[in-house]
Structure 1
Amino acid sequence: MLPFDGTDTGEAMRFRGKSIRRKIVALLLVPLVALTSIWAFATVITGREADRLLDAATVMGELGEPVQETVRALQTERRHTLVHLADPRRSDSLTALHDGRQATDEAVAALRTRAGGEEIRGELDDDPRRRLDELLAALDRLEKVRARVTDNAAERQDAYDAYNALIDPCHAFLTGMRGVDDVRLEREGRALIGLSRAREYLSRQDALLAAAFTAGRMTEDQLRAVSDRVAERELTYRTHLSVLPAEDRERYQAFWSGADGRTLRAAEDEIIGAGAAGAVKAFDAERWRKTSGTALEELRRMDRETGERYHRRVEPEAASVLLRAAVVGILGFAAVLVSVAVSLRIGRGLVRDLGALRREAGEAAGVRLPGVMRRLAAGEQVDVETEAPRLEYGRDEIGQVGQALNTLQRAAVEAAVRQADMRRGVSEVFVNLARRSQVLLHRQLTLLDAMERRTEDPGELADLFRLDHLTTRMRRHAEGLVILSGATPSRQWRKPIPLMDVVRAAVSEVEDYERIEVRRLPPLAVDGAAIADLTHLVAELLENATVFSPPHTAVQVLGERVPSGFALEIHDRGLGMSPDALLEANLRLSETPDFRLSDTDRLGLFVVSRLGRRQNVRVSLQPSPYGGTTAVVLVPGALLTEIPQVSRNAVAAGEEADTAEHRADDRARTTAGLPLRGARPAIGAGGSGPAGPEPPAKGPGGTGADVGTLLRGHAAGHRGEPAPRPPSDRPSGESGGAGLVRELRPGTHRTPDGSREREQEDRGRGQSREWAGDADRARARMASFQHGVRRGRQQSVNSPGGTGVDAPEDGNGSDGGTGSDDTAPRPTHWRGTADDRSARHGGGRHRGDG
């Protein structure tokens, strides 16, 4: 067995041996490094947790107590301030206020001294440090509050709110300072802050009631504020007491169930029950001061003792965390040593087995599977047993891995083979369905031709032409399935066809053909082998342009020669495409990716891409100057030929006749909504064609010439052969010559001598002229005209000045065969020349030179 990397056996063995050793070393180093990293990480995490616990204890010892003292001093000063504002004339209230302010200044100064130390601030995290700064900034506003109180410029409610705003940052700092990772300790710490907040609610209630009793009156708002503080206090106690240890929780419960707690609650109920008017009379200030003061002092003492017990619980927890970190570190290091020893022992045995397994896997992944994929992509048959034979391995784990790899290899090959068979089957199904649809559509078109020749009613003829147009579009969609399946369309052309006819044929296969304007193209002919693909490609682009643009706008088709061939441009006036969508569409057009069944909304792009790659035609999309999208089709010069001068003159004469017809009445309509067909040249001479210009037989939806023209377009396009051109682009005017039967303007008719007259309308009586001919004369005239068309087509094919267009070759076999005689079947796709298709379906507005 050859080495996978292509070297000789000895060098490969040395290389493989070194490679496996490196892998064994990596096998040892990876878990060693990982385990060491985990050990170090665990040590750092546990050490950081312990350090944070110790820091929390230190910070609480340094800042917790000063902050609590500041809160207590601010609460006392707030009470004295509200009492002073309630009765400024009392000298004892002013003295108490000065004493309270002095105590507050001492507490704030102590707090600033502790908070200003760099050591303490360095132990704080970012969030607690920010909250400490906010607390100190709030305390800076204390002097402004005092000044307003001294000047009697503040109301009681304003002073009450100002002191509340000074106390709230203290509780916020204490809450953010709890950085313990232990969930239980963290919850207990937050519960302590909650108890301090509950005591603050009681202090606010005390300040409001003391001021009200001093003033001798209470408002409804003040009583409501007292009631709210009572409710908030009860809720806070009920929430946080459940978190505390049982010992601390029982102390608080004993207080509230004891004499002091019951007295406080009874007083609150009595005050709130008496209402704003009766509260002052039912209770006096001295009684309330004793009741609230006793409760506040007892709760403050309990909070301090609970906090001290919490700190004592934190310190042992930090020590236990450090112990756990040491144990984890030692055990992790021991695990690393054991892992190294075990890996070294079993590593040597793995080298041999892994080397063999590597060779097998390398050959399967680098040689067998890619080869199978390439052969399946090329359409070859692959034998699974030959490409993925069953191999025998040992019964150990490595042997099981080898067996699994062998099974995986066989499964991959089998799946690839099944996938290739499925794709081949799906493609064949698409092709068969499309071929059958094409056969049925061809038969339907043949039947429509026969019905069109038999009918004489303009309305029915218009409906038949509309059905004929729908059938032609259905045939294009069926051919799209053949192209997407990777097969080649069955229809072929041997001789070149003018480029203008190819574009007009593409226009005739579009639903909104009336909106398409085709400007005159250079006298170039398309090679017969590329006619079908180029027609389908242009039809897809025109369909896309009409669908994605407003129905009242036109789609312009123009082109010019370029050094590498011919550039055909299709402009629409839609909303355009975003740059990303435009880039994606151009990539699909240029790269020609494999068709996937999930991309059913992009069938047109795949069809255009496939056709462009097959004929070396480049298609690109770019923004249109009209705001929509422009499709540029670059036809290579190898597919184009110059039209001979004789054929060019014949084509030019026919196009001039077309221009005259469209200028006659470009927007006239039949009763069915189809455009009126301009009259075509009367083919033949002498008695073969119509005897001479005859008066038109007026029908319900148009002139008799219109009906004749539609029949003539049908006859000319029946066998997929070119419509003959008149020898001159001027009408003869002689009754027996090959004159040009032109489309008449509305409201005109021909006199028996061939001259035109404007019909004189009698507006007074509202009557118009009626054609006096009967149905037998019209049927005879149309039959004679059709016979002349057939004779003219046969003469045009045999004459040296023909266009050189022959009937398509249909390799499907379902169309009956090929040939240019009058009995040949209709081609699968190309139904007559583009001029005839334009006459049948009004294929847009074909612009001439002007």
Structure 2
Amino acid sequence: MSTGPTTLPEIGKTADHDRVRRLPRLRDVRIRSKLALILVVPLAAVIALATIRLVSTGAGAVDATRIRSLTALSADVSALAQDLHKERMAAAVHLANPQQQVDDYNLRVRATDERIAEYRAERDRAGDIPADVRDRLTVIDEHLETLNGTRQEVVERRQMPVAAATLRYGIILTDLVSYADALAQLPGQESLADARRAVAAFSRAKAAVAEEEAVAYTALSGGRIDEEQFSAFVTTLTGQQEALVSFSLVAAPEQRALVEGTVSGDAVGLADRVAADITRSVGQQPLVTATDAAASIGAVNDLMRWAEIQLQNRLLDETEAARGDVIRQAVIESVLVLLTLAIAVSLAVALARSLNHSLRRLREGALSVANQDLPEAVKRLQNVGSVSDGGVEEIVRQVRDPIRLENRDEVGQVALAFNVVHREAVRVAAEQAALRTSVSAMFLNLARRSQTLVDRMIGELDAIERGEEDPKRLAQLFELDHLATRMRRNDENLLVLAGADSAVPRRDDALLVDVLRAAQSEVELYNRIEFGTVDTDVSVAAHAVNDVVRLVAELLDNATRFSPPTTTVVADGRRIRDYVLIQIEDRGLGLTDEQLDSLNRRLAAPASVDVAAFRLMGLAVVSRLASRYGIRVELRRNVEGGTVAQVTLPNSTVVLPSHRGRDTALPRQRQPMAVEQTPIGLTEAATAGRAGAATLTDQWRSTPAAPAPWRPQVDARDTAPAVGIGAPAPATIGP
């Protein structure tokens, strides 16, 4: 009995492996894994430590790059604050002097808008920003969105006092100055952090000077300084002094020297005198004009702006240098770590390779034999037509050794033993192929001999039938004739299973209806078979007629035997496009889904001759014949009960009429078609106008008559019996 190839079981799933283990046993671990385990622990530790260091270094490089971008952004924020302060002063002048044109203010607005565009472009290039700084920038953006409304009110002078305008601008300037404070809180090198805090403190001092200028101009433009305005002015002076003190505490000597050398001289002295005059002017006539106060204080603001630019440039240079150092360190450490890992891995591989090489080749060779070489060799031997006794040794000599190892150690000895086992397995497969060849030859010889005897017996029965006039004895002779035909069909089935042709191919095509009639005559229970719609203008190709008859006969015989005796089996034959579909329906008990799947698989892929093939000989023969011509046979469940067998004849096995279109449908009503003839004189009337579907009425038949058995091409004698009134006509297919 033939079975499929044996596959390797999965490791750990043997029959005696009853309980599931949480961890595999050490003895079950592969040799390669054991070798790798010796080296993987120290390598994993080195890789883990190196990864931690690389991640830390990479994070430092990313942080340095981020801080450099934020420091560059702080320069744009400071420039924006300076331009916005200039716009604030221009708005205050415009509102304090109703006769003044708006041109100066518009120039300041355009300069501020350009600075805002530069700030937003730099912010987009900054990339990922820390949460605190991002929140501060969000507030700045929101307040900048309100700037256009303030500008419109300033231009139109909608009862906008100078103090209100300076207050609105002051809110935005406070947010811009706070960005430097948020930047100063970021972690990093201590020297860079101190430098950022110093720049932030100096920016606050500069913002206080700008606020001092705005408060002084606002108070003096009204012509009188009240207590509230003076209090705001003093607040700006106090904020300026506190910011300068903070700057002195955290600034480096170079930064302090830069500020002391820049913010000094006559401009600072003049601003101090203006502050003193404003202090003495509280509640009385001012001692200084608004324009003079703004000019003197504005000069100090410009000096502080220049110093702020220098401090920010130095900070940016230091940040860039620190960033370069961090990146350089990260690259050097990465190269060293990777080089170390490469050396370690190379040494580990070199040490393990000598131990693993022989075992790997042994394993690959064994798996190749188990999964590929041996199954393919067995498959080839199964498909060999004939193997003689001497051919077995020749096949074994042609087998190559699957594992070629020159080692003289234990691994080499195992490889040599495996090669011997492989050779012996091929020998056994070859001997089985030779045995199958002998069995097929035996079946062929026995079938030929039995077929000769059966043909002689059928010839004798035909001679007796021609001379017999008693209807009862003639009916008995017909029964014997059918039994002999069934015996011949069994012999022909053996020939098919043995791989031989059971009959000489025909020279002429045969109509599909004649093929179905011939198949019916091969069935013992022929009187239970009825024909539905059969296309009479479709023929079966000559080279396939005999085998199609045999295939349909086996399906009809199976349908009649496995259905109740009171039911009929209906066969249809129709053309569908360029192929022909034959359907055989019975009203039996039907089959389960598992049985249908099993039988359809057997029909789709013909199996080798074994015990199952002889137990289901009919289906085995159908499968062999179907695969020979590319015919598709499928069983399915009948919705009305029973089973439907569908036989699809491909275009290569049928002859279609040339005058019909490929997609022409021939709708017909199903009618029973009997193979026996109608009474003499009514044949033409019953078949008149039936060019499409071959249907004959059975109203003239009282009991079904037996159709004469079909004679294949191999019978050379004349077997046409004499038919009396009401006797069945022989269902024969002429050559």
Q: Same fold (TM over 0.5)?
A: no
| Higher RCO (C-alpha under 8 Å, 6+ residues apart) | 1
TM-score (norm. length: structure 1): 0.37
Tell me the TM-score normalized by structure 2.
Answer: 0.43
